[in-house]
Structure 1
Amino acid sequence: MKILLVAGARPNFMKIAPIIREIKANQNGLQLEYKLVHTGQHYDFNMSESFFADLGIQKPDFFLSAGEGSHSEQTAKIMVAFERVCLDEKPDVVLVVGDVNSTLACSIVAKKLLIKVAHVEAGLRSFDLCMPEEINRMVTDSITDYFFTTEQHGNENLLKEGKPQEAIHYVGHVMIDNLLYQNEKVLRADNESFQNAGLKASLAEYLFLTLHRPSNVDNPEKLSHIISALNQVAEEIHIIFPVHPRTRKMLDSFDIKFSANIIQLKPLGYQEALYLWKDALGVFTDSGGLQEETTGLGVPCFTIRDNTERPVTVEEGTNTLIGTTGTNILAAYDSLKKGNIKTGSMPELWDGKAAQRIVDILIDDIASL
């Protein structure tokens, strides 16, 4: 079986990496011939050698140079370039992850060329059609052949949408596979290998913040209210804030001011970010991945959103949805300060073996042909 593995953004590579490592380690993995496609969707598409070395994978075999643009422009550029790759490589399966534009674009191309589609993180739903990612998830799952799900809610959503039971595979979460892999490396590493080791050592307690979702950062009034609340929190505790380029652009455009106790950093690599957030008193974020990763390591997480496509992190994990108002952010910090936090538990099959299950299913499918 020949597989094209598709990634378009840094989190995609973190989800693909465990699958590549498992294919290499699996004694039957020789039955799977794979190549890695980087669509270039992410702003930092010229990733360094060290980025791939940290993940334990090779550099991509194909780089499609999608770059920036509107959702339509970006999707169209990826589709045109990826079609050429598919026509040349003639894969049996195209495996996509997550919910970015690359996920959608490459799935459509594959299906129109009669190539099977495998979707890792299938079935997740926020039920919020204002989110571009929700459109990507729904459309991708409408044409997927192998549904690899991360939580039971994903299975339930797919069955309600009429997907066949035999095509749905509850495998756990490759993001947790990668988290556990990277956490071991961070624990073994010399702290001096991390640029912000001195910063971390100087802070007895701190919060970790990420903020990038368009619904939060593109609206000047909403963003101002969020930062105003965080400035009030920062009067009592330092906040480490690696600033996404999109967010930086908006902050500068709206001329929003920060407390001196909000420590703004440039975007961080995966290991450096993990080194900082894993020991934070709490994480405030609007990211999808951090909701899961904080649950994976038992760190309190407060999600600055009104909904989540990852409900298991709220029901079983350490995540709390707090909405986007300044009042709610302040209330969440007050609860954290008083020790009123969720301890959470690890969801079923979040054990670091999701990639192994995915590869085994694909190999079994070969044997059945």
Structure 2
Amino acid sequence: MTEQTPRRLRYAMVGGGQGAFIGAVHRHAIALDGLAELAAGALSSMPERALASGQALGLPAAHNHASWQALLEAELKRPAEERVDAVVVVTPTDSHFPIAQAFASAGFNVVCDKPLVHTPEQAEALVATVARTGVVFAVTYNYTGYPMIRQAREMVRSGELGAIRKVVVEYNQGWLATALETTGNKQAGWRTDPARSGIAGALGDIGSHAENLVATVTGLEIEELVADLGSLVPGRALDDDAGMLLRFRNGARGVLVASQINAGKENDLRLRVSGERGTLEWRQEEPNSLVHYQQDGPATILTRGSPWLCEAARRGTRLPPGHPEAFIEAFANVYRGAFADILARREGGRADPIDADYPRVSDGARGVRFIACAVASSRARRWQRLDAGERRDEQRTASPDAA
């Protein structure tokens, strides 16, 4: 008898249809490893556009829905073995909570874009739902998928730098240096609208990435921060520039900058981590290298694909050294980790931690608390302690069945 080839996972997508940027990025990233296929969708909040988007992507009429509610209802009517294995949520932030909560409560694995939700209370509710249902819940902080970020994480966590003393993270963009939202630009429109984006603009959009990058690489917990948020383009309702000082629980200090009004800048995300014995530097626009400055030795440039990198970095690489990998591949690594977890649980087991390497619902919840803390600090113009809710998240997700 020939061994049966396991079927590919099936996923549904909510949002990401015609006119959306990020939906196509997610679909391309998922397709890269051939582990899953688009099987259903509700690809827009506008019914006609949702149906047209699904038709353009080749979805059968029975799996192409005008709303996420219709998608959920249809999937629940199918036999369990015929349902989608995961639901990918790529809508504006204001709809993340009702969609993710509904699908996770119904037992569907969820992959959700960031920031996770609008409020810490919503984040806590999602964490509780995931703990109760045992579903996989991934949050697409895609920069964690870069191989050299995983290499930096291993070097920091293994003590190669010594105790961490200083962390500086910057995310500088220039695409909102003018009032782009007044021109009909869809992406600028919802990101600068408090009703859709929540209490934060640049802080939520790219500052959340910066916070997650620090937490991922260093493992440090922010104890308190003081933030200065500003709307520097006249008439803009939400911050387009954010800067803050950080104090970590281990005594280290940090600086975080998230700004979208740096005219001419593209996606200049950069991280510097300094310990007792050395410093690491990484830039998203040159993601295939990591610079290691040593206190008692020469600076070393580590490159993606090299055989001496850690296993997590090597597994995150698809091409030989010298062939650049970047944004789509990093997204794909996050998905590969989430899918490995889904597949392992489907067989009643647990995936190897290196295989199931992806940001969890607890990471998303911590990011929401970070945003709320920074906004409160800026409004009060004082240092603000960060809610230690991440410890409650860890307790809730300690169960083998929790994400």
**TM-score normalised to structure 1 length:** 0.40
Q: TM-score, normalised by structure 2?
A: 0.37
Taking CA–CA contacts closer than 8 Å with sequence separation of 6 or more, which of the two structures ends up with the larger relative contact order? Answer: 2
Higher helix proportion, which one?
1
Relative to total residues, which structure has the larger strand share, 1 or 2? 2
